[in-house]
Structure 1
């Protein structure tokens, strides 16, 4: 089971005042009983929350801060992970995975009385599966990824010429297209 430890190796800021890392550690310990039985997932969850906590600390925001401050930090985090240093950028799918993990953490923290707010906004959607519909919450802090069928990796040379001629308003034979 992964365990987060602060740089100064302290677990409390005072008697019965656990640090945010200890709150995260409790959540991590409860993952196997919360529907996450795979040890490889525990590590991924810990790494995602650790990266978020480090980013928040660098920007002076607490892990269990006000909704406004957390939302502002989430916006900065999105910018950092989308357009920051190349080695720190996330693909849209990785971003979505990290937001899902953070959403699980904040939902747990709020249910346990450890947090009063989360940085996410949700909308309600209708999910259909095998003819049965139900209402689900959809986290709006996701980046859209292109579908494989709309991603063109290359064009054949003859099609490239035809495509460019069409954009110029030319017919397939290169003459002016009257339409």
Structure 2
């Protein structure tokens, strides 16, 4: 390939790679998720993927960089996922305290741009907690997680909320009961597009 750089013509050769995108993705996936304990930064995606497997196709997994929520239903109902684990990928010596960020925001990104509207963008929250601290802890195992479904209107006006407080608002359910629990909680919320 030829191009002009600083008034001179330069030639760049592109050589075939001995591997392609699939191999790179597999390598990254193994590094990120190939061990039982997943770093906190990536664990959120792992939990959202588990939840997507039980909520789709009723809910669309839309969580991405700066998305206003993690899941959305066709009628506009939004769901936010927060997660915490007792055992971390680094040595802590004792179980980590489960505290979740629920702070209201000054606005949110939508498809058409920034919407300056104070509050929480989701109508429902799913708080996922991985309580296992011993050597059997495997963040990748959906059966080891407990889920708490809380309508946003039930959350106090705080920036962070502890698991103990969440337990006063909702009962823990396993992944096998999450879809029906979300559906029951969603049925108590007015349609956001007509409310």
Which TM-score applies when normalising by structure 1?
0.32
Higher strand share: 2
Q: Which has the higher contact order (CA 8 A, sep 6+)?
A: 2
Higher helix share: 1
Which TM-score applies when normalising by structure 2?
0.30
